Amino acid sequence: MTTPTALATDEGRTRLHELTVIDVRTPGEYAGGHLPGALNIPLDQIRRALPNIRHAADRGDVLVVCASGARSENAGRFLAENGVRAATLSGGTGAWAADGHELHRPQSASRATWGMERQVRLVAGVIVLLGLLLGLAVHPAFQLLSAGIAGGLVFSALTNTCGMAALLAKLPHNRPLAEDLDNTLAALRNR
């Protein structure tokens, strides 16, 4: 098993021309701004893309990125467990943009989707409010919804994982179109 490494944004920028960059965010997040030349393979599609990523890694270094670094760390661990050397970008595209580096935003992007963190905050907030309102209006037991979300948020922070994000990623607006993913995998094979 190989150990995933992390690149600082400045090092990533200077090496960008020699890296195969894989963005593991949802297609909507990717369309909202990504590293120049990055290929979009959502985290839940990494297993399917493994042979193509392995092929790219045999020809050069692979950099895995996401919004803040958590999803890319998960992808990096999975790749390392499968014998693929890949680095992650410290702080993700958020740190990249904060350091003043260019994000590519395709003009032809057909879908605009909120970032996953924003989607999670919305859904968690709605469920908490719903639990409190139903607890006041219908039965106090509905407040357990709010308590469940609070517990999930604490668990998410402690483990640096997010079950709600994993569920939201499966919604149709967060899924890559089949032909888009097939085209991305073909581009990865041809690198």
Is 162 noted as a catalytic residue in this protein?
no
Please, are residues 27 and 42 in contact by the beta-carbon 8 Å criterion?
Answer: yes
Closest to 56 (Cα-Cα) out of 75, 71, 39, 43: 39
**For residues 167, 181, 66 and 146, what is the CA-based torsion angle, rounded to 10 degrees?**
-10
Q: For residue 188, count other CB atoms closer than 10 A to its CB.
A: 19
Tell me the β-bridge partners of 5: 87
**Residue of 7, 56, 66, 181 with catalytic role:** 66
User: Which are the contacts of 92, defined by CB distance < 8 A and separation ≥ 6?
Assistant: 65, 66, 67, 68, 69, 72
- Hey, which residues are catalytic here? 66
